[in-house]
Structure 1
Amino acid sequence: MEAPQESNQIQSSFKETETPQPFTDLENQRNHELEEVEVIFNYSKRAQWLRAAVLGANDGLLSTTSLIMCVGAVRQDPKTMILSGIAGLIGGACSMAIGEFVSVYSQYDTELTQLKRETRSASELEEKKKRLPSPLQAAIASAFAFSVGAVIPLFGAVFVKDYVARVGL
C-alpha cells in the first residue's frame, strides 16, 4: 500500500512544478516582459551599399575587360593594355562613386523631406535620420568594389605574356 502513495506524491509534486506561478512582484513581472521583447534589425539601411558594391564589382569586371580587349586588339604591347586598364580602373571607380553618391543622396533627401513632414519632435527626427541610407557609404562601397572587379582582368594583362592568351583571358 505504501508504494502507490509514494507514486501519487511524486506525480502531484511534478504537477505543481509544471504550472507557472503568477507574478506577485511588479518588478519581476516587468523583467519577464522585457525578456520576451524580440529585437528586430532593419536590414534596409544595408541594402544601398550592398547593391552599390555588387553593381560596382560587376561593372568593374566587365568594363575593364572590354577596355583591355579593345586596346589589345589594336596593339600587341602588354604595357599599353596595362596602362589602359589602370586608366579604366581609376576613371570607372570615380564615375561609379559619383553616380552612387548622387543616386543615394537623392533618395536620402526625398526620405528626409518625408520624415520632416511626418515627425513632430526633433529628437524623433534625429532617431529616424539614423536609419536612412548613407550616400557616402554607398559611394565608397561602389568605388572599392569597382576597383576589385577591375583588378581581375588587369592581373591577366600583367601576368600572361603570350598575346593570344592574354586577349583570350
Structure 2
Amino acid sequence: MASPRTSEPCCEQTNTVADETDRWTDLVQRAQWIRAAILGANDGLLSTASLMLGVGAANDERRSMILSGLAGALAGACSMAVGEFVSVSTQRDIEKALKTDITAHQDDVEKHEIMSPVIILDPNLPQGLSPIEKVVTLVQDDDKENTLPNPYKAASASALAFLCGSVVPLLSAALIEQHVIRIVVIAVVSSIALLVFGCFGAYIGGSPVRVLAARVMFGGWIAMAITYGLLKPFDKYHAGNDD
C-alpha cells in the first residue's frame, strides 16, 4: 500500500519538471527572437541613416539620398540574413557534434562498467543522481537543441527587422524637400528611434533602461557624426569642380 502513495509525488514532480522545462525553452526561444529583431532593427536604422547622412553631406539631391538609403537597406538586409543563417546553422552543427561525442563517450563508459539493474533504472540516465535529477537532465538534453532557432526563420526575421529599421530614415528623407531640414529631420528622427529601441531592448533584457538607452543613442550619434563629417569635404570638392 505504501508503494503507490510514494510513487504519486514522484510522478507529480516529474510532470512539474517537464512543464517548467517547456516554459524555460519557450522563454529562451522568445528571447532569442526578440533580441534578433531588436538588433536587426537597430542596425537597419543606424546604418541606413548614417549612409544617407553621408551621401547628403556630399550631395544635395534628395533622389541620391533615397537611392543610397534604399540600396543600403537591401544590401544590409541580405547581409543580416546570410550572417544569421550561417551563425545559427553553425551553432546547431556544434550542438549536434557535442551531443554525438557525449553519447559516444557514455556508451564507452557503460561498456566498461558493471551496472546493477536494481540501482540503475535506465542505462541512458546519468549516474550518481537522484531519480528526479536524472529526469531533469534527460529532459534538458532532449530540449537543448530545440532552444536554438531555425536558421531559415532566423534569417528571415533578421532581414525583415533590418528593413523595418531602415524605413525610418527613408520616410524622413522622402517627406522633406529642403536639404538642410532633411538632414536635421533624419538625425532627430533616427535619434528618437534609437532611444526607443534602446529602452525596449533594456526592458526585455532586464538591464537598466536609462543606461542602455543612452548608450545606444550616443553610439548612434557617434556613427552618424563620423559618417557625415568624413564625407562633408567631398561637398567642397564637388562645388569647386562645378565652378
The TM-score with structure 1 as length reference comes to 0.70
Indicate the residue corresponding to 2:136 in structure 1: none
Asked if 1:161 corresponds to 2:171, the answer is no
- For residues 120-168 of structure 1, the C-alpha deviation after alignment (integer angstroms, 9 at most, x for no partner) is 88xx987654343322222111111110000000000100111111011
Q: Distance in 1 between matches of 2:151 and 2:42?
A: 20
Q: Distance in 2 between matches of 1:47 and 1:109?
A: 21
Residue segments in structure 1 that go unaligned for 5+ positions in a row: 1-25
Quote the sequence identity (%). Answer: 46
Residue 34 (structure 1) shift: 4.8
- Of 134, 154, 172, the residue aligned with 1:138 is 154
Residue segments in structure 2 that go unaligned for 5+ positions in a row: 108-123, 125-138, 186-243
Indicate the residue corresponding to 1:148 in structure 2: 164
| Structure 1 SS opposite 2:60 | coil
| Structure 2 SS opposite 1:66 | helix
Q: Distance in 2 between matches of 1:72 and 1:128?
A: 48
- Give the conservation status (yes or no) of the 8 Å contact 2:80–2:159: yes
Kindly report the root-mean-square deviation, in angstroms, between the aligned alpha carbons of the 2 structures.
Answer: 3.0
Indicate the residue corresponding to 2:86 in structure 1: 102
The TM-score with structure 2 as length reference comes to 0.51
| Equivalent AA in structure 1 for residue 95 of structure 2 | E
Q: Distance in 2 between matches of 1:68 and 1:116?
A: 49
- Give the conservation status (yes or no) of the 8 Å contact 1:48–1:138: no
Asked if 1:65 corresponds to 2:49, the answer is yes
Q: Distance in 2 between matches of 1:127 and 1:59?
A: 31
- Give the conservation status (yes or no) of the 8 Å contact 2:44–2:161: yes
| Equivalent AA in structure 1 for residue 93 of structure 2 | D
Q: Distance in 1 between matches of 2:53 and 2:35?
A: 27
- The higher radius of gyration belongs to 1
Q: Distance in 1 between matches of 2:173 and 2:180?
A: 11
More moved, 108-117 vs 55-64: 108-117
- For residues 54-111 of structure 1, the C-alpha deviation after alignment (integer angstroms, 9 at most, x for no partner) is 1111110100001111111111111111111110110000011111111121111111
Indicate the residue corresponding to 2:232 in structure 1: none
| Structure 2 SS opposite 1:130 | helix
- Give the conservation status (yes or no) of the 8 Å contact 1:60–1:145: yes
- Give the conservation status (yes or no) of the 8 Å contact 1:67–1:85: yes
Indicate the residue corresponding to 1:15 in structure 2: none
